[in-house]
Each structure stands twice: as C-alpha cells, then as structure tokens.
Structure 1
Amino acid sequence: MPYQLVGRTVDVRITGDVLTVFDAGEHVATHHVTGMRGAYVTDTDHIPPNMTDTRGLWTSEYFLREASRIGPATKEVIAGLIAQKAIPAQAYQSCRNVLSMGKRDKLVLEEACRRLIDTNGAQRAVSYTAVKNMMAAVRKDHTTRPTGTTTTTRDTTTPAFGTAPVPARDTRGAYLGGAAQFSLENLTKKGPTK
C-alpha cells in the first residue's frame, strides 16, 4: 500500500496472480502475487520518505556487527539474508531469529553457518530454516557420531618397529547400526523385489 493510505480501509481484488488495491473505487496499487510462502512483494515507491532515518531502528550494520561477534561464517550468512531482500528491513526478523539461536551456543551457530556457505561453489539457500536445520545436524554430529580413538599397539613379530600408532577412524559420515544389523538373519534377508 502507498504509505499515504495507512490506516484506511481499502478494497482488494485478486485475479490470477495479480493483486489490485482500490481506495474509494480508485485504483491505487497493483502487485504480482508470489508463489513463495512468506515472501514480500513491496513497491519501493510505497515506502515513506522518513524511513531513511533509521535512528532507534534495526539496521543492516547492527545485524552484521552482532553476527561478526559470533564469527565470519555467521556474518556472511546474515549478509546473505539481507542481500536476498529488495528492502533490507524485510530480512531483519530472520536475522534476529538466526542470531538468537546462537545465544546458547555460538560455536554450533558458527559451525552451521560455515557448513551452509562452504559448498565448494554450489549455491545453497540461506534462510532461518536452513540455519536451524543445519544447527540440528551439527548438534547431532557432535553428540551421536563417534570419531574413533587413537590407540597404541605393539607389533610383537617385528621388534625393530617398536610401538606404532593406529590411526583413528573417522566415522562422521558413516551409517552406524547396532549388532543386530550384522546378524546372519539380517545379512541373508532379501530386500524388497521391484
């Protein structure tokens, strides 16, 4: 809506993907409705001119400064959230939500953000939900995935080698199952036929 009509009751007509706004029967605005849930469709001409004065309001600089206190990956994710929106203020609630998830564990938030941006050239969507899901994955990796231990063994057949460390196995990407997974019945069972 044009800012001059704030507080007024208007009529709205939706035809296909076009939303038309009428004030007292006069056409005042037209928008194309996006199919994306939660997306903003804003005409920058509808913003009041005093919105350039951001004293006392959230700003992009504020969120970037807060994110840099957590780490460089978090700052990059926050910058990505802001860059995705035509009007930066539309990203501020998502930025606030992402930063609030790091209040309890900044290291998990930073690791989740690092994983989101470290895609070896592939573009990954950055959103509050993506960060939240990645944080859950990071927590799961830290609590449920054993990484093995480095043990020391002695080779008794060749005393010249003495003690040799056995490297630890990295099982972070492995599917881990219990002893029942390797029972004779389970191993010989045929899978579903197609």
Structure 2
Amino acid sequence: MRAGRTWPIRGCGWGESSRCAASGVGLAPAWDRRSWRVVQAEAPAGTGRGCCQPGSGQQPQPAERYELAWWKKARVNIDYHISLDEHLYSVPYQLVGKQVEVRATTTCVEVFLGGRRVASHPRASGPWPTTLPEHMPSLHRAHAQWTPSRILEWAATVGPSTAALAEELMRRRKYPEQGLRACLSIIRLKEKYGPERLERACAQALRHRACTYGSVSAILRNKLEAVEPVAEERAALPVYENIRGPDYYH
C-alpha cells in the first residue's frame, strides 16, 4: 500500500471520489506505510468539510425515521374484524364480506378499501380483539357497554349465588372479558324466568360445580332449581378385632 493513496469517501462512487481527490476536497484518510499512522487530508479553506456534507447539494435528512411496512389482503369476517398475526382488528360493520388491504408496521395497523383508509389501530397482540365502538352496529354497541365490574354489580342485585357464579365464569378465563358473553346470556335468563328462579338455579350450579351458562339454562328449563339437596348419611365403619384403635398407643 503506497503512502498518500486516497480511498473512496463513504457515500461517493469511485468516479466521485476521484473528482473529490482532484479538487482536494473531502479526501479520505490515507495510510502512511512507514509509520502505520493515519494522515488526515485537509480541505482547502472556505470549501467546507467535504463534498458529501450538508450544503453540497444533498437533500436534507427527513424529520421522521423511515418505518418499514408490510401489506396483505384480508377478507372482513362476519364479526366485522380482520385477522393479522392471530389478532383481530375491527373495521366498519358495513364492510362485512369485503376484501380490504392491510398496511402493518411495528406500531400501527391501517385498513384500506379502494385506496381510502377505513380503519386505523395501534398494533396489538393477545386473544381479545381490538374493537372501536364506532365500527359496531347499534345493538352490539349497547352490549359493549357491559364491563366485568358492571356485570358483577348487576349480578349482586339478583342475589349472592348469581354474583358468585358470574365471578366464577370470569375467573376461569385467562382474560375476564372472555366470560362476558356467558354472563350476558345469564342476564337474558332473568328476563325469561325471573330473578328468584335464576338465583336458585345459580345456587344449584355452584353446588354441583357446573358453572356454565348451559348448566344454569338446563336447570331452569327442567325446573330443577327447587330440588333440595339430599343429605348423604354415612354408615358407621365396621369394627374389626385385628385393627388397633387409637388407645393402643397410650
């Protein structure tokens, strides 16, 4: 390697670096083979730091960092959600059955139809879907107002057994919201059978550890909520002469 040899400047091609070397502007460091040290070439006064620095004709850097995005096509499901990486995102319910384009980054999910953005969500994960109230039909929007705390408050107005059953339904799920559908179904049973029968049916379900909506519905349908539990009588254990009792050790 010869002393004083110049190397291409980062961002310049071989032709551009040769022009820079000819003008004496922005020369890259050169190795001095005799002393193995870097000799920094100096630019002439008044010419700036180099041809690849700001002010040399390059465009300014963008204010925001470029973010990589992925595109895919998706079909809007009957529940007005699209699926992306095993997570559901809502779109306006009028688009059920439509094919849309999904643009996803590490922070955002956007849904387009015919080149027009129809939905935007923060990127999320987990089994519980990301749903905006304005994407729902009016009937679904009313159900969405039921939260776990509101469900428990309503169940307590029916009776302690109903409240305990609703709490158990949500406790058994990984996320309490996943038990809301079963609790809402039990709410509808109150309208059909009345609060007194529903409270007794929930008590029966808790007693038999059958804490499901199907069990409560079957108890009410077959009028089993009034059946009193039968106490089991345990017979006395037989006495055997070859078995030592507790007095043996005293």
TM-score, normalized by the shorter chain, greater than 0.5: no
Name whichever structure is richer in helix by fraction.
1
Structure possessing the higher relative contact order (Cα contacts under 8 Å, 6 or more residues apart): 1
Greater gyration radius: 2
TM-score, normalised relative to structure 2: 0.35
TM-score, normalised relative to structure 1: 0.44
